[in-house]
Chain A
């Protein structure tokens, strides 16, 4: 079995009108066995920047700690918040440092830049960035997510519409993937606030 499919995970991020959404499932498993239903895969950098990590669980946790360290140091030195694009490049270089012994993760970055412009991107496990103008997907249900996002996404979705779109995309995609699911977490990031909802889908 592929090492990227050992624990199972799915993450998706979408652009909306002056907002972005990022969502993930909550399952943590060891191949066929489900071990936990509240495994965190999306992490906050600041009030306008989130990122998600799909892939091997240990690397998800290790990298989230490394990124917490790097972003804290950035904040102390620069005395300003990280911009999404800058963080994306930080993720990319962190991964490429391990080019010949990589972290087995597929990161997804979503945020609003200092002008409030929405930003989403994803990278592969060695740091190649995909700057998308619509949505990005990662994880064991990535094919399913591509199909769902391609049909439900439209340009300039308002925050509540974006929430519906990303939730339906994630829930229906993970329902066809044995290794993802057991609930979902959705964050909608707008200039004024962050809306976080936990969804209960099929718990199997």
Chain B
């Protein structure tokens, strides 16, 4: 703005001081849906520019017994959004006298995000859980609520590093195969998620420290933590 002001004249262009309401706190999330499980993982590093604010700021949040959501982007909006969703889940359970299913939560998250269409939550969400038939399902969102069901998805600062790897290893793209790619066994999917994070940690400065992996099955939600490189 100041560079555009003409040097010859002396009046400054009318300026209005603005504070940028958003920040990018970095971080990466990965989710894979299987035949009877869903895995969702997110690293725990929170950064701002070249600084690390925290090595233990989880980005994946368990909402209820069957659903986990990861929110990458602006951490303040991520916590505000998940707090709001947890409140709405409690309300739903009072109103409907049953736990909130993953597809129902998926729709709720979408309309919540669109509710702030003109001052968005600056987060890229992935919701993971089991559908009504017990099959793993993950939903990927843009910041204003557009969502779609996927079988594999990455989000956050490492998305461009990890997404092609998932296409290749989970979707078997560019590999000679029959029409429908088979579902992966849980152990294989877990190994892929760990490899995805170790690779992203190498090349992306915003990813690292620790990864929390949530495994959702009909028996509930299990959490595992693995250390990542801290540089």
Query: Distance in Å from the Cβ of A165 to the closest Cβ of chain B?
Result: 11
Whether, in the assembled complex, A146 has its beta carbon less than 8 Å from a beta carbon of chain B, the answer is yes
Chain A, residues 132-158, CB within 8 Å of chain B (1/0): the string is 000000000001101110110000000
Answer whether residue B195 sits at the interface, using C-beta atoms and an 8 A cutoff: yes
Count B-side interface residues using an 8 Å CB cutoff.
19
Smallest CB–CB gap between A122 and chain B, Å? 14
Contact of A147 among B162, B173, B174, B175 (CB under 8 A): B162
> Interface residues of A: mostly helix, strand, loop or mixed?
helix
Query: Which residues does chain B contribute within 8 Å of A173, judged by CB atoms?
Result: 164
Residues of B with C-beta under 8 A to A167: 174
One of B161, B162, B167, B203 near A175 (C-beta < 8 A): B167
Give chain B nearest CB distance to A82 CB in angstroms. 30
Query: Residue-by-residue, is B140-171 near A (CB-CB < 8 Å gives 1, otherwise 0)?
Result: 00000000000000000010111111011100
* Cβ A172 vs Cβ B199 within 8 A: no
Residues of B within 8 A of A176 (CB): 160, 163-164, 167
B200 interfacial by beta-carbon distance below 8 Å: yes
- Supposing A150-B203, A151-B195, A176-B167 touch, asked if A143 and B174 sit within 8 A by C-beta, the answer is no
Shortest Cβ distance from residue A111 to the other chain B in the assembled complex, whole angstroms: 24
A79: min CB distance to chain B, Å: 42
Whether a CB of chain B sits under 8 angstroms from the CB of A201 is yes
Chain B CB within 8 A of A171 CB: yes
User: Is A31 engaged at the interface, CB distance under 8 Å to the other chain?
Assistant: no
* Distance A144 CA – B168 CA, assembled complex (angstroms): 12
Tell me which residues across on chain B come within 8 A of A150, comparing CB atoms.
Answer: 161, 199-200, 202-203
Interface flag for B128 (CB, 8 Å): no
Q: A150-B203, A151-B196, A151-B199 are in contact. Are A144 and B164 (CB under 8 A)?
A: yes
Assembly CA distance A201 to B168 (angstroms): 13
- Say yes or no: is A130 at the interface (Cβ < 8 Å to chain B): no
Measured between beta carbons, the chain A residues less than 8 angstroms from B199 are 147, 150-151
Q: 23 pairs across A/B with beta carbons < 8 Å?
A: A143-B160, A144-B164, A147-B158, A147-B160, A147-B163, A147-B165, A147-B199, A147-B200, A147-B203, A150-B199, A151-B169, A167-B174, A168-B174, A168-B175, A172-B165, A172-B173, A172-B174, A173-B164, A175-B164, A175-B167, A175-B174, A176-B163, A201-B174
